[in-house]
A and B are shown apart, each in its own frame.
Chain A
């Protein structure tokens, strides 16, 4: 009887672990349940609902899942990408601004973070702890506080312009100057308007000439701020990476007669590849999602040149009651971030295919 009972139990519980291990899976699920529920309620469900909103005509009143809300297919996506109206142009402007922001911030902050990490990592440096704390300090300060600080520093008669004036330079009206940096450079060379090839054609409602305007002076101030605030965090990551590198390899290179410059590029940097990938990925994602600085600082102005997709998404939904378009912008942004991360992973892949 016991034999048959055991056999039937085995038969019924096929795929379960026998004996003592039995019930472990259940216990495991119970232990992870709180996290699963929290992630589900606060992450998965909102994301799925936002995805639904981006395909619906929800107008912002009542539940988006109520029977009155209709499915409109890709209408919202069409409106922001090929609609030909203001929504499309705003999206184009936002992408343009943010692309320049990413293009400047990511390399600058990565280079600066690596530079600081190498400095702080040097055994000869006195008071390493102080420097490490000082460099990290901007990262732990609230971005709202730093934005306000930046608004003061870069105001027309602020500290930055005062210092520039001492040096005999008339500083720009930073956060009120919508002109593109590249356009300004070209203007000093006597080029006021682009060639017909660039001004006559465009993408997302913006001419190629406008795409090439570069970040506005106002956006440049935000670029400086991002580099200032995030380099500290990434410095810590690089520092951890540097301390993981065994000194033997470097010593071997020294014996081979490599100078400091060669050792950095040929020995240290290749070994930092995993850290570099992390820093670039985090930087890329953070930069494409820039929102709080814009919200507290400029609300997209001057001349929409600090408008970013994240802020535009908020603005379309909460201020213009175009909830579907706001959600659609968020998901297009999501796709852009994923594509760029995959591209960057491909570029940074090890040359010989070995990880």
Chain B
């Protein structure tokens, strides 16, 4: 009886020893300690001969090729080696890199992820060191500013606009003069364009589309740093959408059997959709025969409103060669380079000095750039992603839902994370 227990003890000891060994091994190699106090807000950039790794979440080959070409060109010029990696799950790969202490030097970073990574010190703030700092749109800079620190350079941006299928538009007897500029006109043309197997206007069942109506009615989720999800404007916007979902002139893309708005438009399941700059490339690729017009979203009772989306070039606090990374960012956000990116895969340059050239090159798409004047941003507080996900879950059943209850939940969730 004593022997087995003795053995068991020895076994436990061996396991513990192995565990302790493994733990020290982990401490030594698997995780590197954060590089001291030079984490957030530090202005001293590291410098070394190390090669750079750039991790991007690519929309397709066009984007991958364009970014790779731009990085290679910089590499030739500067003599610093740099490699572009395409993430198949960007947030997960970033999190793993930060935990292991070996993150990519530069990476795409969404504004809603910024606060979380900034809080745990994973990011190197470098915005104020940029040569072309003053060239970025102020609203974009604000989007990447946490606690008065401008963290990272906006790489480009997109806004939402009304995209119209020309063929269906003409077939309904509508002309260029009929492009809606108010909610009443929108209701009217949507009704005229709706048939048994087609909705007048379609969009994704998410705040990232439906939120435009909240903005046009004077509401939104977070305006001027205050949660306003249950304001009168937000309620009015959602009720307008709800009414038209019920009468069938508006529809969610998924309910039409399309993955997203662009597909609904291309397949003729909807005559108009609310989408962003990315829609042009996707339509040209997937539905080359479909002719479309891009117009500004109609104004609501409180004026025009749309939503803006952007990403920045995040820089890791643990990067051993931040000075080279900064130089690469300046190259990637230069006027010339951003115009090249825009031509290759669609988004608009994040700097004002490129606006004139962009408008000239894309005369049919100016509605997107015009929207930047009054566009709102999705909230960027830490935890905001969860709030928006929760709201989106409820928006899916907006047609039969209780608008006040949906927005009330969103409001209390926002107040819980308000900064």
Contacts and interface: CB of A to CB of B under 8 A. Distances in A.
Contact of A61 (B2, B22, B98, B394): B98
B18 A86 contact: no
B119 A36 contact: no
Contact of B116 (A33, A89, A320): A320
Contacts of A86: 383, 386-387, 390, 413, 416
Contacts of A25: 7
A85 interface: yes
B292 interface: no
B15 interface: yes
B3 interface: yes
Contacts of A256: none
B26 interface: yes
A103 B418 CA distance: 39
B31 interface: yes
A188 interface: no
A63 B416 contact: no
Contacts of A64: 31
Interface in B1-39: 2-3, 6-7, 10, 14-15, 18-19, 22-23, 25-27, 30-34
Contacts of A145: none
A270 interface: no
Given A60-B98, A86-B390, A156-B257, A44 B31 contact: no
A178 B397 contact: yes
Interface stretch (A116-124, A225-233, A276-284, A298-306): A298-306
Given A15-B2, A37-B18, A65-B27, A318 B91 contact: yes
Contact of A41 (B18, B119, B122, B383): B18
Contact of A317 (B95, B254, B256, B397): B95
B200 to A, nearest CB: 19
Contacts of B23: 45, 65
B254 A321 contact: no
B385 interface: yes
A61 B122 CA distance: 6
B204 to A, nearest CB: 11
A207 interface: no
Interface in A33-92: 33, 36-37, 40-41, 44-45, 48-49, 59-66, 68, 85-87, 89-90
A176 B34 contact: no
A60 B95 contact: yes
B300 to A, nearest CB: 26
Contacts of A40: 15, 18-19, 22
A157 interface: yes
The size bracket of the interface on A is 35 or more
A37 B23 CA distance: 12
Interface string B373-403: 0000000001101110110111011000000
A319 B93 CA distance: 10
Q: Which of B116, B393, B397 has the most CB of A within 10 A?
A: B393
A282 B312 CA distance: 46
Contacts of B7: 25
B33 A301 contact: no
A341 interface: no
B396 A302 contact: yes
A319 B91 contact: yes
A49 to B, nearest CB: 8
Contacts of B92: 318-319
A302 B117 CA distance: 28
Given A29-B14, A45-B22, A321 B6 contact: no
B397 A303 contact: yes
Contacts of A268: none
B255 interface: yes
B119 A59 contact: yes
A139 interface: no
A275 interface: no
A321 B115 CA distance: 10
A178 B392 CA distance: 12
A271 interface: no
A15 to B, nearest CB: 6
B8 to A, nearest CB: 12
B377 to A, nearest CB: 19
A320 B115 CA distance: 10
A36 B14 CA distance: 8
Q: Which of A25, A66, A89, A318 has the most CB of B within 10 A?
A: A318
Interface string A77-114: 00000000111011000000000000000000000000
A44 B12 CA distance: 12
A332 to B, nearest CB: 18
B51 interface: no
A179 interface: yes
Contacts of A41: 18, 22, 25
A27 to B, nearest CB: 14
A289 interface: no
Nearest to B99: A60
Contacts of A304: 389-390, 393
Q: Which of A33, A156, A300 has the most CB of B within 10 A?
A: A156
A25 B257 CA distance: 66
B396 to A, nearest CB: 5
B101 interface: yes
A173 interface: yes
Interface in B110-139: 116-117, 119-122
B393 A173 contact: no
B126 to A, nearest CB: 18
Q: Which of A41, A49, A61, A66 has the most CB of B within 10 A?
A: A61
Given A15-B6, A62-B101, A179-B397, A90 B32 contact: no
A302 B19 contact: no
A155 interface: yes
Given A63-B32, A86-B387, 6 more contacts: A37-B22, A63-B31, A64-B31, A301-B396, A302-B254, A318-B92
Minimum-distance CB pairs A-B, first 3: A59-B120, A63-B31, A156-B257
Interface of B: 2-3, 6-7, 10, 14-15, 18-19, 22-23, 25-27, 30-34, 91-92, 95, 98-99, 101, 116-117, 119-122, 205, 254-257, 382-383, 385-387, 389-390, 392-394, 396-397, 413, 416
Interface of A: 15, 25, 29, 33, 36-37, 40-41, 44-45, 48-49, 59-66, 68, 85-87, 89-90, 155-157, 173, 176, 178-179, 300-304, 317-321
5 contacts: A45-B23, A62-B33, A156-B256, A303-B397, A318-B91
